[in-house]
Structure 1
Amino acid sequence: MGQFDGKVVYITGIARGQGRNHAIRFAREGASIIGLDIAEKVADHITYRPAGTDDLTETVRLVEEAGGKIIARQGDIRDLAFQQQLVAEGVEQFGGRLDYVVANAGILTWGKVWELSEEQFTDVIDINLVGTWKTLRATIPAMLDAGNGGSIVVISSSAGLKAMPVQASYSASKHGLVGLAQTAAKELGHHKIRVNTVHPYAVDTPMGVEDTSAHDVFANMPWYNAHFVSILDYYPVATLDDISDAVLYLASDSSRAVTGATFQIDMGATKV
């Protein structure tokens, strides 16, 4: 038996990386998965490899291989109507309930405050912050209707606690997620729904380790490097399971006393 038998979780950005790993881990513990991913290049200013439809198909295969049931759709978190329809479809198929939400989808772009293009700023805010609000707007009514309480985990970043140079739009969006999540925590506590943010530092994903703009910054603007160090220099990059461990803990009854928290999986980077 798994700790999430009979439960249902909604996960954004599910095609690969953290989102895929969260889905597999929940499936192994008995949960049914509702997931989405845009599964295509979002913007020309993104300088890491985007997920594709093949990645989304592979996530479905891996979740089913782990014994889980899944509904996965290609779509954009900026599309509220799409998310509402997906939630309705998933809730109907999986017994009329929605227990957990993992708001994971997001993008990163690089540039100084005064050099970012308008698209670099607004695309990141629209996806990371506004898109996450649309995720909550689409899912919270279903959680309330089900009346089972539950847990919402919003994936922020170490940049949501410690502003980072050359990441103005990303830092602004991830700080915004903290305010959004803590407001939701206060509004939903009475309904037995907990809301927390997770703050990774570097993670072993294409966005985390393959971004060519990041490599350029570290090579050509070394005066910024001090802001990107961590305490655990012997462990520079977190694994996917490091982050999923935190997400599943915050969904589980083991964290029943935790809400409105900023949960750091950052190797101490926010303390440097």
Structure 2
Amino acid sequence: MPDLGGKVAVVTGAARGTGRVHCERLADAGADVIAVDTGAASELAGTVEAVIGRGRRCHSGHSDVRDLDSLQSVVTAGATELGGVDIVVANAGIHIAGAPTWELSARAWADTLDVNLTGVWHTVKATVAHLSRNGGSIVIIGSTNGVRGTANSAHYTASKHAVVGLARSLANELGPFNIRVNVVHPGAVGTAMVRNEATYRRLCPDIENPTEADAARVLTARNLLPVPWVDPVDVANAVCFLSSEEARYITGTQLVVDAGLTQKA
């Protein structure tokens, strides 16, 4: 595992799912964590407990990434308590049910872009002044929808393509300050976002009451490797690598963690 001892990481969307696993894995590697989320206090407290249980410090704060002032307050308080910021994981995102592009509601479009794109921009604005003191790493969590187009998902696909462009611009702007910027693109991840009845029905429209096993067969057929989804820790491992000195000369690039989904002929 990469050595992140002495580092401080900001993670948005940290209360549950892959966001919590990012925090856990960063702590395993030695980093202290500033955990940010807009969800239930009890869920965020669970992340704090997980980080502290690994022998690391954790500052948590309730903030919606759409609210720049609130986000800046949480990050500044955490940086003051923990001694700065070295790593930023822009993980917070939403996936609203899709439709043909011309049938998407204005609200679905706006909410998706507000969180998935503007929220990442806000995350950078809230953290870059702390990062620029010593250099560091920004990792944006994209999606395989940021690599290819997907029907009935224009709002989500556009947001994930957009953060790639944002990352490329940031890599050019922040390189002289020794700040690296990269994107990790997960495929399907085995969290509640995928493992739920609504997703099973969408994946298996011809089955009356599809099960997880039914959905897993569909997803496995889409991948080169014989698995239906990657585990959250697989994404977190990529984040830890890109955040570490082992990736010290990697910037402006994209790392796809998708079991071969985007390469399947």
- Provide TM-score, normalisation by structure 1: 0.88
Whether 2:227 is the aligned partner of 1:242: answer no
Whether 2:200 is the aligned partner of 1:215: answer yes
Whether 2:230 is the aligned partner of 1:230: answer no
Distance in 2, matches of 1:132 and 1:221, equals: 38
- 1:29 aligns to what? 29
Alignment of 1:3-82 (within 5 A): 3-39=3-39, 52-82=40-70
SS at match of 1:203: coil
Which of the numbers 173, 194, 205 marks the counterpart of 2:180? 194
SS at match of 2:194: helix
SS at match of 1:124: helix
Answer whether contact 1:194 1:258 (CA < 8 A) is retained: yes
Answer whether contact 2:62 2:74 (CA < 8 A) is retained: no
Distance in 2, matches of 1:63 and 1:257, equals: 28
Answer whether contact 1:129 1:173 (CA < 8 A) is retained: yes
The residue identity in structure 2 corresponding to 1:241 is V
Distance in 2, matches of 1:170 and 1:38, equals: 20
SS at match of 2:100: coil
Distance in 2, matches of 1:120 and 1:53, equals: 26
State, as a whole percentage, how many aligned pairs show the same letter: 39
- 2:103 aligns to what? 115
Whether 2:240 is the aligned partner of 1:269: answer no
**CA positional deviation for 1:93:** 0.7
SS at match of 1:35: strand
Distance in 2, matches of 1:24 and 1:191, equals: 28
Q: 1:37-76 CA deviation, whole Å, 9 max, x = no partner?
A: 110xxxxxxxxxxxx3322111111111111111111220
Distance in 2, matches of 1:169 and 1:2, equals: 35
Answer whether contact 1:202 1:209 (CA < 8 A) is retained: no
**CA positional deviation for 1:221:** 8.2
**CA positional deviation for 1:263:** 0.4
Whether 2:158 is the aligned partner of 1:172: answer yes
SS at match of 2:126: helix
Q: 1:78-101 CA deviation, whole Å, 9 max, x = no partner?
A: 000011111111111112x21000
The residue identity in structure 1 corresponding to 2:125 is R
Equivalent pairs, count: 252
**CA positional deviation for 1:112:** 1.7
Answer whether contact 1:157 1:200 (CA < 8 A) is retained: yes
Q: 1:155-209 CA deviation, whole Å, 9 max, x = no partner?
A: 0000000111121111000000100011100111111110000000000111132
- 2:87 aligns to what? 100
- 1:49 aligns to what? none
Give 5+ residue unaligned stretches, structure 2.
Answer: 208-217
Superposition RMSD in Å:
1.9
**CA positional deviation for 1:2:** 7.8
With over 3 angstroms needed to count, the CA separation of the structure-2 counterparts of 1:190 and 1:209, relative to structure 1, is: same
Distance in 1, matches of 2:30 and 2:37, equals: 22
SS at match of 1:98: coil
Distance in 2, matches of 1:4 and 1:88, equals: 21
